[in-house]
């Protein structure tokens, strides 16, 4: 099983964010000390919206530093948030592990913690503001470079420089890229959607999404999550 080095462990405080002043902790800062991890995430890491962020199924967010080079090549000038890990609100940053190599249900060790991959990340409009780029959330979604979440199986401590090792892979056929492609690029694939419904280690809300599509034949609207609605607080230009 693959092992990578943790390049950064990040956490943030909830502060007023964007023109509407909604609370957010998307601006994470790297910790220079070991951090304690419990079943709800890093102690001291806050969430501005506890309905859609955090909790046991989204205790830690992992984003591949591998993707930063690609993002840098797509912008001119490069947004300043891409200068260091944390641009996507991630808690863990590594090189050498991406969505195509990670599967739902993977059990990993990180420091003294044991984590399990629960779901891909669904980007929201706060990325537009964080990057000062209208449409950034949709770009992240369409790129399938979203990052992923863990649930915590064993509390412990994580530090920069620790190893993150995949210990067990119960569902090698269910890569995060496969899940993302099904949800965002092939939204009416009944066979794969049916498989997602039965995938017990996938976060319940994602299984319910698949079940609803199978039941109704309809694709849910992404406009509010992505900030694509009248009066949204995201920037109105690509500057």
The predicted-structure confidence for 72-83, as pLDDT tens digits, reads as follows 999 999 999 999
The predicted-structure confidence for 187-215, as pLDDT tens digits, reads as follows 889 999 999 999 999 999 999 999 999 99
Checking if the pLDDT of 128 tops 90, the result is yes
Prediction pTM value: 0.94
The answer to whether residue 237 is domain-embedded is: no
Predicted confidence at residue 235, as pLDDT, reads 60
Domain count for the chain, please give it: 1
What are the C-alpha distances in Å from 171 to residues 155, 164, 186, 228? Answer: 23, 19, 21, 35
231: confidence class by pLDDT, cuts 50, 70, 90: low
Q: Across the strands, what pairs with 166?
A: 108
CB proximity list for 72: less than 8 A, separation 6 or greater: 78, 82
Instruction: Indicate if the alpha-carbon torsion angle 165, 27, 205, 100 is positive or negative.
Output: negative
The answer to whether residue 132 is domain-embedded is: yes
Residues 62 and 146: beta-carbon distance below 8 Å: no
CATH of the domain at 88: 2.40.33.20
Residues 70 and 98: beta-carbon distance below 8 Å: no
The answer to whether residue 13 is domain-embedded is: yes
Domain extent at residue 73: 3-226
């Amino acid at each position: 099983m693959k092992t990578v080095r943790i390049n950064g462990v990040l956490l943030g405080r909830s502060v007023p964010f964007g023109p509407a002043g909604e609370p957010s902790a998307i601006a994470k800062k790297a910790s220079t000390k070991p951090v304690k991890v419990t079943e709800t995430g890093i102690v001291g890491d806050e969430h501005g919206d506890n309905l859609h962020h955090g909790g046991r199924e989204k205790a830690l967010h992992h984003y591949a530093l591998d993707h930063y080079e690609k993002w840098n090549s797509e912008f001119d000038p490069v947004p300043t948030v891409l200068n260091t890990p944390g641009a996507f609100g991630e808690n863990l940053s590594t090189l050498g592990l991406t969505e195509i190599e990670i599967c739902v249900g993977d059990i990993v060790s990180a420091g003294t913690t044991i984590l399990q991959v629960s779901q891909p990340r669904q980007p929201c409009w706060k990325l537009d503001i964080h990057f000062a780029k209208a449409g950034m959330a949709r770009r992240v979604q369409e790129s399938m470079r979203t990052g992923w979440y863990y649930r915590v199986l064993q509390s412990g401590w994580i530090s920069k420089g620790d190893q993150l090792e995949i210990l067990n892979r119960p569902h090698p056929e269910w890569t995060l890229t496969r899940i993302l492609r099904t949800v965002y690029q092939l939204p009416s694939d009944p066979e794969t959607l049916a498989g997602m419904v039965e995938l017990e280690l996938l976060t319940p809300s994602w299984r319910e999404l698949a079940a609803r599509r199978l039941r109704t034949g309809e694709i849910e609207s992404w406009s509010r999550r992505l900030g694509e609605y009248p009066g949204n607080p995201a920037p109105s230009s690509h500057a």
